[in-house]
């Protein structure tokens, strides 16, 4: 069946003339356009398409909060010189504005022209205020009076009432009312309460947007006034944080203070529908201190990321079939330490269950022979069995040390709360530095056994989060190899103290991961030049490191006919494929995108590609197949910008499925990662 989507092929110009690198911001927008294509693809179940559209809008919100806000900061600081991609900040903002407006128009067409009619046909109706029948209108009025009206607060704007503070991503109604006695026109802002459901249920699968419900009952908020116009609008603020090393005497307090302060960031985007007259547009732009270029017209509903609520409706006929991951029972129901001693365990999530990792930590917490547990936490979720296991271990008298990354974007508040809860339980908690993030995902269990002290290790590309492990593609390794255990011990000592250890098996950013990766690329380039089999297949979240890109260009040029450089990318990509400069950029690396791979292998891509994490790939030495053994090279995020542990180089012992799965890997694969810009912008 041919792909039938209404979104045109990507037309975002991502590279200026003469540049060897793509714009990372425009590349990200091209990625988000591929998400929109999935929403427009009729082969997906209907509510999965709605979910993709909500993800598209949520992605766009974060893009403005971080990436666009960062470009505005560069302009404010007078730093408008060309970046590595050849674009200035001002040029990027101009191109971003044009691309976003086109994408938003396409998204509105997908929603109004395809999804809403299909939802109505399936019995899910999103009503406008003028389309309600008598019974539904009565239910809506009752809900407004009992639930909505008590929490509304109209805020007028006049000489005695300054323009109110508007929080990030909040939806508001600009209300213009007229006094029928004096003819005086007044302006007020009414916030659509975020504490209430955005789509009000009217019975069955019938809903009305909350803003439409409020608009139809404004006479209750402004009695005796004539409503002239009601105009929804929404703002986006700068939500990035910059923490200077000199300020970080107590990193937890600094991050806590910055999180509280972040809500007052500068406004970087104003969204309105097409109805407001020029006087309302001008008033909002003036009060929010925005330029005309920061104004974006969108069709209702504004803030369409809220459609995720509809995507979660319990309609199995409109969702993907449920997926049940494979469970290694000897790891979950038996002695997990004995299973690991029998051989290394490779888990490929979400195809393999995350339960063995939870069992590993749960057994460690209860085992009287376990002496110590150390691990890193980045995004562990609001309710975490892992945190409960760590707390239990500390209460059982074990030495427990946890590195919590307080600067995990938009999870800062959650991580601060976990840090305080763990400290209250007796866990030794420590943090990264102000300049680096701890992206390594590692756990170390030190256990006393009959003949020795043995270290058990878990390394992963994914967060210690049971919920996301069911969605994101990641690889985890459970091992008790002595060399790896010793290296992980050195890693934790370096994170909690101050040291520059020499690792034997691990490649650790920001010191050794990038050089190791460059060396692997160089090996393949040399093999290609010598006429030998050479191939690099790299699966990663983003590719923006200029030195790595140049090395891939060179490897591709050395053996393009041998496909010596093929990255599979989910998001940001600064490397040019041949179709965007093969003749002008020598050795431009061929690549496959997540969307392209999805078109080629739909069933596998459903859960693997849309949320692929930075790579954990296995490096297979280029030897005869009879002698080839797998060497793990797990690269967590970041070549240079954060503390990330690259994986072991030993040969895992062959095991039978489902314990060890090495499927579909080719000679000389390599690890992946992405360089972070200064201040993580």
DSSP 174-241: EEEEE-TTT--EEEEEEE--TTS-SEEE-STTEEEEHHHHHHTTHHHHSTT-EEEEEEEEEEEE----
Q: Which is higher by pLDDT, 549 or 146? A: 146
Residue with the larger pLDDT of the pair 536 and 149? 149
Higher per-residue pLDDT: 427 or 604: 427
Give how far Cα 440 sits from Cα of 21, 250, 367, 645, Å.
Answer: 28, 22, 26, 5
The SS3 call for residue 372 is strand
Q: Answer yes or no: is pLDDT of 175 > 90.
A: yes
3-class secondary structure, 499: coil
pLDDT at 495 over 90: no
pLDDT at 568 over 80: no
439 classed as catalytic: yes
Sheet arrangement for strand 125-126: 125-126, 206-209, 199-201
Tell me what the mean pLDDT of segment 344-357 comes to.
92
Half-sphere exposure at residue 461, Cβ-oriented, CA atoms within 13 angstroms: 32
Query: Is the pLDDT at 657 greater than 60, yes or no?
Result: no
Query: What pLDDT sits at residue 230?
Result: 94
Instruction: Give the per-residue pLDDT at 261.
Output: 65
* Angle formed by the axes of helices 355-366 and 385-395, nearest 10°: 10
Give the CA count within 13 Å in the CB-facing half-sphere of 280. 24
Residue 155: pLDDT above 90? Answer: yes
How many angstroms separate the CA atoms of 239 and 244, rounded?
A: 16
The pLDDT value given to residue 97: 94
Phi and psi of 547, rounded to 5°?
A: -65, -40
DSSP 8-state assignment for residue 664: S
Query: In this predicted model, what pLDDT tens digit does every residue of 278-289 receive, in sequence order?
Result: 999 999 999 999
* Residue 438 confidence (pLDDT): 79
Q: Are 576 and 586 in contact (CB under 8 A)?
A: no
Do the beta carbons of residue 235 and residue 267 sit within 8 Å?
A: yes
Closest CA to 457 of 505, 408, 421, 406: 505
Decide the pairing of beta strands 370-377 and 399-404: parallel
Residue predicted with more confidence, 317 or 597: 317
Strand blocks (E) in 412-509: 428-431, 437-438, 441-448, 453-460, 474-479, 507-509
Enumerate helices (H) and strands (E) in the chain, giving the number of each. Answer: 21, 24
Instruction: Return the minimum-mean-pLDDT range out of 8-22, 231-245, 415-429.
Output: 8-22
Residue 374 vs residue 620, higher pLDDT: 374
Checking if the pLDDT of 338 tops 80, the result is yes
Q: What is the dihedral of CA 561, 562, 564, 568, to 10 degrees?
A: 90
The answer for residues whose C-beta is within 8 angstroms of residue 130's C-beta and 6 or more apart is none
Distance CA 410, CA 168 (A): 13
Out of 171-175, 186-190, 388-392, 576-580, which region has the weakest mean confidence (pLDDT)?
Answer: 576-580
How much helix, strand and coil, in percent to the nearest 5, is found in the chain?
40, 20, 40
- The more confidently predicted of residues 143 and 550 is 143
pLDDT at 310 over 90: yes
What's the mean per-residue pLDDT of the chain? 78
CB 15 within 8 A of CB 24: no
Residue 345: pLDDT over 80: yes
Question: What confidence score (pLDDT) does residue 372 get?
Answer: 95
Average pLDDT over residues 530-559: 83
Exposure on the CB side of residue 522, measured as CA atoms within 13 A:
7
Per-residue tokens: 286:
């003036």
Nearest to 556 by CA among 540, 573, 538: 538
pLDDT at residue 249 is higher than 70? no
Choose, from 57, 127, 348, 439, the residue flagged as catalytic: 439
Place of tokens 């500068």: 266
Contact (Cβ atoms closer than 8 angstroms) between residue 440 and residue 636: yes
Average pLDDT over residues 524-541: 83
Q: Looking at the predicted structure, is the pLDDT value of residue 637 above 60?
A: no
Please state the rounded mean pLDDT for residues 199-222: 94
Statement: residue 99 has pLDDT above 60:
yes
In the chain, % of residues over pLDDT 70: 73
- Prediction pTM value: 0.79
Q: Of 23-32, 278-287, 478-487, 596-605, which range is least confident? A: 596-605
Q: What is the pLDDT of residue 244?
A: 45
DSSP of 572-641, one letter per residue?
A: -B-BPPGGGTTTTSTTPPP-EEHHHHHHH-HHHHHHHSTTBPSPEEEE--SS-TTT---EEEEB-S-SSS
Highest mean pLDDT among 43-52, 489-498, 537-546: 43-52
Write down how long the chain is.
681
Cβ-contact 87, 18 below 8 angstroms:
no
Name the more confident of 283 and 565. 283
| Axis crossing angle, helix 69-76 with helix 89-110, rounded to the nearest 10 | 160
- pLDDT category at 496 given cuts 50, 70, 90 is confident
- What 586-590 contacts at long range (C-beta under 8 Å, 24+ apart), as own/partner pairs, is 586/553, 586/557, 587/552, 587/553, 587/554, 587/555, 587/556, 587/557, 587/558, 587/560, 588/553, 588/556, 589/549, 589/552, 589/553, 589/555, 589/556, 589/565, 590/556, 590/560, 590/563, 590/565, 590/566
Residues above pLDDT 90, as percent of the chain? 42
Torsion of CA 633, 639, 640, 645, to 10 degrees: -30
Measured between alpha carbons, how far is 20 from 554 in angstroms, rounded to an integer?
12
204 dihedral zone (left: phi>0; alpha: psi -120 to 50; beta): left
539, 615 in Cβ contact below 8 A?
A: yes
* Sign of the Cα pseudo-torsion (209, 211, 213, 216, in order): negative
For 34-75, the pLDDT digits (tens) are: 999 999 999 999 999 999 999 999 999 999 988 898 888 888
3-state SS, one letter per residue, for 95-140 = HHHHHHHHHHHHHHHHHHHHHHHHHHHCCCEECCHHHCCHHHHHHH
CA distance 356 to 296: 47
pLDDT tens, position by position, 576-612: 765 544 434 444 444 444 333 333 332 232 222 222 2
Alpha helix (H) residue ranges in 456-500? 482-496
Strand, helix or coil at 656?
coil
Spatial CA neighbour of 327 closest among 358, 364, 365: 358
Q: Which of 168-172, 358-362, 551-555, 591-595 has the lowest mean pLDDT?
A: 591-595
Structure tokens at 650: 């030993």
Measure CA of the first residue to CA of the last residue in the chain; give whole Å: 41
Picking from 359-368, 394-403, 405-414, which range would have the lowest pLDDT averaged per residue? 405-414
**pLDDT level of residue 239 (50, 70, 90 thresholds):** confident
């Amino acid at each position: 069946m041919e792909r039938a989507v209404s979104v045109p092929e990507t037309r975002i110009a991502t590279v200026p003339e003469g540049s060897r690198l793509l714009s990372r911001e425009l590349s990200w927008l091209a990625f988000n356009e591929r998400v929109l294509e999935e929403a427009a693809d009729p082969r997906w179940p209907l509510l999965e398409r709605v979910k993709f559209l909500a993800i598209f809008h949520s992605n766009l919100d974060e893009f403005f909060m971080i990436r666009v806000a960062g470009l505005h900061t560069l302009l404010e600081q007078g730093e408008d010189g060309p970046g590595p991609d050849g674009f200035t900040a001002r040029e990027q903002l101009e191109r971003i504005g044009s691309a976003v407006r086109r994408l938003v128009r396409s998204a509105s067409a997908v929603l109004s022209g395809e999804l809403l009619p299909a939802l109505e046909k399936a019995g899910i109706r999103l009503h406008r205020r003028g389309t309600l029948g008598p019974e539904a209108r009565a239910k809506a009025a009752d809900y407004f009076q009992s639930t909505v009206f008590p929490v509304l607060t109209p805020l007028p704007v006049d000489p005695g009432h300054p323009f109110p503070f508007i929080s990030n991503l909040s939806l508001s109604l600009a209300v213009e009312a007229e006094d029928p006695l004096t003819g005086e026109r007044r302006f007020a802002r009414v916030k659509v309460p975020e504490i209430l459901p955005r789509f009000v249920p009217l019975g069955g699968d019938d809903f009305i947007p909350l803003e439409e419900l409020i608009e139809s009952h404004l006479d209750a908020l402004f009695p005796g006034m004539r409503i002239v116009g009601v105009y929804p609008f929404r703002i986006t603020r700068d939500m990035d944080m910059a923490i200077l090393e000199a300020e970080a005497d107590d990193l937890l307090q600094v991050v806590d203070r910055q999180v509280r302060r972040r809500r007052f960031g500068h406004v970087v985007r104003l969204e309105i529908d097409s109805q407001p007259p020029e006087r309302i547009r001008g008033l909002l732009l003036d009060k929010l201190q925005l330029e005309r270029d920061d104004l974006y017209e969108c069709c209702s509903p504004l803030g369409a990321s809220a459609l995720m609520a509809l995507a979660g409706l319990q309609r199995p006929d409109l969702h993907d079939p449920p997926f049940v991951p494979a469970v290694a029972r000897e790891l979950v129901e038996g002695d997990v330490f004995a299973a690991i001693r029998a051989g290394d365990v490779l888990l490929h999530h979400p195809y393999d269950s995350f339960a063995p990792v939870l069992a590993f930590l749960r057994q460690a917490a209860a085992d009287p022979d376990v002496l110590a547990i150390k691990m890193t936490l980045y995004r562990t979720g609001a309710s975490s069995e892992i945190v409960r296991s760590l707390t239990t271990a500390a209460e059982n008298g074990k030495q427990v040390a946890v590195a919590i990354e307080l600067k995990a974007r938009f999870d800062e508040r959650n991580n601060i709360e976990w840090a305080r809860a763990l400290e209250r339980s007796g866990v030794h908690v420590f943090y990264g530095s102000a300049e680096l993030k701890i992206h390594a995902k590692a756990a170390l269990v030190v256990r006393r056994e009959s003949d020795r002290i043995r270290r058990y290790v878990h390394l992963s590309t994914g967060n210690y989060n049971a919920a996301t492990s069911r969605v994101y593609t990641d690889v985890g390794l459970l091992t008790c190899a002595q060399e790896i255990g010793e290296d992980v011990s050195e890693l934790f000592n370096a994170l909690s103290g101050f040291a520059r250890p020499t690792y034997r098996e691990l490649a650790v950013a920001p010191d050794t991961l990038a050089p190791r990766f460059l060396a692997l690329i160089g090996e393949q380039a040399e093999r290609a030049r010598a006429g030998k089999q050479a191939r690099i297949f790299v699966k990663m979240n983003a590719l923006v490191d200029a030195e790595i890109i140049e090395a891939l260009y060179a490897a591709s040029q050395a053996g393009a006919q041998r496909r010596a450089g093929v990255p599979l990318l989910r998001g940001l990509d600064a490397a040019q494929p041949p179709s965007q400069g093969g003749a002008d950029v020598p050795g431009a690396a061929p690549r496959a995108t997540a969307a392209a791979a999805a078109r080629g292998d739909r069933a596998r891509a459903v859960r693997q590609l849309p949320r692929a994490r930075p790579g954990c790939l296995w490096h297979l030495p280029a030897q005869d197949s009879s002698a080839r053994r797998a060497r793990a090279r797990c690269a967590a995020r970041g070549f240079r910008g954060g503390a990330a542990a690259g994986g072991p180089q030993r040969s895992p012992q062959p095991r039978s499925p489902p314990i060890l799965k090495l499927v579909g890997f080719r000679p000389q694969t390599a690890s992946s990662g992405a360089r972070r810009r200064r201040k993580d912008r």
